[in-house]
Amino acid sequence: IMNFISMEQDEKITSILAMPKEKKSAEGLSLLMATQNGTVKKTAADKFREVRRSGLLAISLEKGDSLISTKFVHAGDNVFLVTSKGQSIRFDEKDVREMGRQAAGVRGMKIGVGDSIVGAGVVPKGAKGQLLVLSSTGYGKKTNLSEYKCQGRGGTGIKTMSITPKTKQLVGGAVILGNG
């Protein structure tokens, strides 16, 4: 990847997305970014069509925060965020207004002390599936997406998995589309 963009020493890749070539399939397409501290940001995908060798600034991060996920979203999609202490939230993508590339974003989920976002996912309008969460000790849990009600962004969410000495903390969460 170093042959395509220049990166700082402490930078790392968190997501790679292929931009649709046809303008028609890219209409209404936005990038949704989520950070470790619970910030989310939505920017029109066409703002990233022409990338310079030096790269483009996609989000302004607060000190100590890092980008953990970037996904494509369309109008009507839902967004999921999962924390290391077992909380998750589901909200409409329209709750996050579109912003310019240099903006920092808005609060997607209220994070408690010692907690952080470990997973993010997008559910297309009307899609069915499950939310998969994984713990640091290898335990996992799949829950039907229909069990998560849509809330307003910025809340604390609901318990998705109990954190015990046996399970320890969550290290990942992802939306699995399909049956469910």
> Looking at residue 95, what DSSP letter applies?
G
> Looking at residue 10, what DSSP letter applies?
T
Alpha helices, H only, 17-134: 23-26
pLDDT at 65: 92
Please state the pTM of the whole predicted model: 0.89
Q: State the pLDDT confidence band at 180, using cuts at 50, 70 and 90.
A: low
pLDDT at 121: 95
Mean pLDDT of the residues in the chain? 90
pLDDT at 88: 97
Percent of the chain scored above 70 by pLDDT?
95
Collapsed DSSP state (helix, strand, coil) of residue 146 = helix
pLDDT at 53: 66
Closest CA to 91 of 109, 74, 103: 109
Q: pLDDT digits over 35-94, tens only?
A: 999 999 999 988 887 777 667 778 888 998 999 999 999 999 999 999 999 999 999 999
Which helix or strand (DSSP H or E) is residue 77 part of? none
Q: Does residue 25 have a pLDDT over 70?
A: no
